[in-house]
Structure 1
Amino acid sequence: MSAPLIEARHATKILGGVVPVTLVQDIDLTIMPREFVAITGPSGSGKSSLLYLLGLLDLPSSGEVLIDGRSTTGMAEDERAEVRLARLGFVFQFHFLLPEFSITENVALPMRALGKLSPPAITARAEELLASLGLGDHRHKMPDQLSGGQRQRVAVARALANDPPVILADEPTGSLDSISTAQVFGILKDLVALGEKTVVAVTHDLNLAAQMHRRINIVDGRLANDTKLVTSGAHV
Structure 2
Amino acid sequence: MSAIAEEAADAVAGAGAPPLIEARRLTRILPGTVPVTLVREIDLTIRAGEFVAITGPSGSGKSSLLYLLGLLDSPTEGEVLIEGEPTHLLSERRRAATRLSTLGFVFQFHFLLPEFSVTDNVMIPMRKLGRLPAREMRERARGLLADLGLGDHLDKRPDQLSGGQRQRVAVARALANEPPAILADEPTGSLDSRSSDQVFDILRALVDDHGKTVIAVTHDLDMAARMDRRLHLVDGMLADP
TM-score tier by shorter-chain length is over 0.9
* Matched residue, 1:200: 215
Runs of 4+ in 1 over 3 A off after TM superposition: none
CA deviation after TM superposition for structure 1 residue 2, in Å: 3.6
* Matched residue, 1:26: 41
CA deviation after TM superposition for structure 1 residue 98, in Å: 0.4
RMSD: 0.7
Q: Deviations over 1:138-197 (max 9, x none)?
A: 000000000000000000000000000000000000000000000000000000000110
5 Å matches for 1:112-191?
112-191=127-206
CA deviation after TM superposition for structure 1 residue 85, in Å: 0.1
Q: Deviations over 1:46-77 (max 9, x none)?
A: 00000000000000000000001000011100
Q: Deviations over 1:90-126 (max 9, x none)?
A: 0000000000100000000000000000000000000
Instruction: Say yes or no: does 1:59 pair with 2:81.
Output: no
* Matched residue, 1:69: 84
* Matched residue, 2:30: 15
CA distance in 2, matches of 1:75, 1:33: 23
Instruction: Say yes or no: does 1:216 pair with 2:228.
Output: no
CA distance in 2, matches of 1:139, 1:44: 38
* Matched residue, 1:38: 53
CA distance in 1, matches of 2:71, 2:17: 22
Instruction: Say yes or no: does 1:83 pair with 2:88.
Output: no
- In structure 2, runs of 5+ residues without a counterpart are 1-15
CA deviation after TM superposition for structure 1 residue 15, in Å: 0.2
Letter in 1 for 2:187: P
> Helix, strand or coil for the counterpart of 1:56?
coil
* Matched residue, 1:96: 111
> Helix, strand or coil for the counterpart of 2:99?
helix
TM-score, length-scaled by structure 2: 0.93
Q: 2:17–2:83: 8 Å Cα contact kept in structure 1? A: no
- Count residues with an aligned counterpart: 226
Letter in 2 for 1:21: V
TM-score, length-scaled by structure 1: 0.95
* Matched residue, 1:230: none
CA distance in 1, matches of 2:89, 2:212: 27
CA distance in 1, matches of 2:229, 2:24: 19
CA distance in 1, matches of 2:204, 2:236: 27
* Matched residue, 2:7: none
CA distance in 1, matches of 2:59, 2:88: 26
